[in-house]
């Protein structure tokens, strides 16, 4: 599903440049649930941004489901993001004046799906995350866990090839975190490919594979025995 070869990325900070990713090689197959771990500054967020086409690598290859991702302009990147990727952020990033339903339906708006169809589909995904009754509530009326579930529904609604989650439990307490991870695992069970960036070991243990990043290189790539989140709830 994802293939990365010799990926380099550096940021210019005034006169000296900061080499963040120093040749990452990594591939992941369909249906995997991968945690990317590392301390802050290890380059894990940069890697996720490049995978999410929010940022572009200086060097190296990136192939997503057989499509080489290169020479992106904003329009092309927007198109790929819309079709191939679903994002889940630490800070939820819901639009605060739109209801849960409208938030979930937004990616479909950019696919030019008719309104009615959009709302039906959004409602279906809200139901999947258990928030059907909350569909007409504004984000401010939802709890943190509910917000993140809305965000997951939004990431899922366009049926992307890969879900990218950046510290998705970072703003949640542990009980809620496990609830959210339980949902992520269930989505993964349905065959979806999910990449989770985290620095919490217990969250990482709930994935099937952990990649350890340190100073811009992969230091360890291990398959782990998945801990089911339900056990902790």
Chain contacts with another protein (rule: CB under 8 A): 49, 52, 54-55, 74-75, 78-79, 81-83, 87, 89, 93-95, 97-98, 102, 106-107, 109-112, 114-115, 154, 158
Task: State which residue, 102 or 179, has the beta carbon closest to another protein.
Answer: 102
CB of 91 to another protein, least distance (A): 8
CB of 148 to another protein, least distance (A): 14
Residues 6+ positions from 29 with CB-CB distance below 8 Å: 1, 193
CB of 52 to another protein, least distance (A): 8
DSSP, collapsed to helix, strand or coil, labels residue 69 as: coil
Task: State which residue, 32 or 102, has the beta carbon closest to another protein.
Answer: 102
What is the Cα–Cα distance from 73 to 54, expressed in whole angstroms?
11
Task: State which residue, 12 or 112, has the beta carbon closest to another protein.
Answer: 112
Give the CA-trace dihedral at 112, 52, 63, 221, to 10 degrees.
Answer: -140
Contact between 199 and 167 under an 8 Å Cβ cutoff? The reply is: yes
Task: State which residue, 115 or 228, has the beta carbon closest to another protein.
Answer: 115
Task: State which residue, 82 or 232, has the beta carbon closest to another protein.
Answer: 82
- Residue 71 burial (CB < 10 Å; 0-12/13-18/19+)? exposed
Contact between 193 and 143 under an 8 Å Cβ cutoff? The reply is: no
Task: State which residue, 104 or 229, has the beta carbon closest to another protein.
Answer: 104
**DSSP conformational letter for 58:** S
Integer CA distances (angstroms), 15 to 11, 55, 58, in order? 11, 21, 18
Task: State which residue, 55 or 202, has the beta carbon closest to another protein.
Answer: 55
CB of 87 to another protein, least distance (A): 5
CB of 117 to another protein, least distance (A): 11
CB of 53 to another protein, least distance (A): 9
Own/partner long-range contacts of 93-98 (Cβ < 8 Å, ≥24 apart): 93/151, 94/139, 94/147, 94/150, 94/151, 94/154, 95/139, 96/138, 96/139, 96/140, 97/138, 98/138, 98/139
CB of 75 to another protein, least distance (A): 5
């Amino acid at each position: 599903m994802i293939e990365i070869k010799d990926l380099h990325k550096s940021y210019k900070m005034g006169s000296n440049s900061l080499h963040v990713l120093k040749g990452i090689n990594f591939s992941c197959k369909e249906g995997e649930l991968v945690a990317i771990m590392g301390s802050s500054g290890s380059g894990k967020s940069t890697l996720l941004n490049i995978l999410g086409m929010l940022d572009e690598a200086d060097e190296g290859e990136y192939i997503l489901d057989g499509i080489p991702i290169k020479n992106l302009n904003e329009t092309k990147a927007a198109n790929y993001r819309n079709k191939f990727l679903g994002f889940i952020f630490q800070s939820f990033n819901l639009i605060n004046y739109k209801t849960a339903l409208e938030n979930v339906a937004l990616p479909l708006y950019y696919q030019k799906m008719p309104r009615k169809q959009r709302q039906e589909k959004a409602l279906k995904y809200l139901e999947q995350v258990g928030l059907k009754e909350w569909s007409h509530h504004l984000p401010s009326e939802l709890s943190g866990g509910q917000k993140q579930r809305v965000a997951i529904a939004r990431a899922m609604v366009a049926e992307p090839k890969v879900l990218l989650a950046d510290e998705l439990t970072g703003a949640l307490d542990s009980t809620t975190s496990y609830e959210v991870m339980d949902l992520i695992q269930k989505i993964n069970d349905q065959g979806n490919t999910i990449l989770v960036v985290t620095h919490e070991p217990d969250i990482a243990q709930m994935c099937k594979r952990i990649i350890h990043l340190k100073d811009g290189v992969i230091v360890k790539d291990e398959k782990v025995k998945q801990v089911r989140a339900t056990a902790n709830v």
